Amino acid sequence: DADLPVPRRMVELAKQHRLLLHAHSDVEAIERLFGQWPEARILWAHSGFARPEQVREMLRKHKNLWSDLAFRSDQASGGKVSPDWRAAFTEFPDRFLLGTDTYVPERWHYIGEHAAWSRAWLADLPQDLAERIAFKNGDALLGSLKP
């Protein structure tokens, strides 16, 4: 629960030190985090496993929310980006970040396979948009955190 003492303290520390929050949370918890600190900068892990339209709604509502695509596979099939995700990527070209999730050591064995799969669906997007999702958005977001 985002309102418990430990998450509240994390938000306080992020605010005090101008840190990015990387939240492994659903829509409700993201809303609660922004309720605690409306100016928070949040990288939403796995886009909360929310449907693309829910992700779009959240990005419309919160200008300081970015969505990572780690450990998701619903954005594409057979190298083709789904229409719902294409609409989300097009509407918010600067707010999505490609990622992977190696939450257990054995996941490291799949990084090459994941990279190939990601390159395939990114190739289905306009080059500029694909580059933004692949690395430019991450560079911009993390670069903005410099003191």
Indicate which CATH number applies to the domain containing 106: 3.20.20.140
Tokens 């430990």 appear where? 6
pLDDT tens-place string over residues 97-146: 998 887 788 877 888 888 999 999 999 999 999 999 999 999 999 998 77
Note the pLDDT of residue 100. 84
Range of the domain at 25: 5-143
Please state, rounded to an integer, the average pLDDT across all residues of the chain: 94
Tokens 């719902």 appear where? 84
State the total domains in the chain: 1
Note the pLDDT of residue 74. 95
Note the pLDDT of residue 30. 98
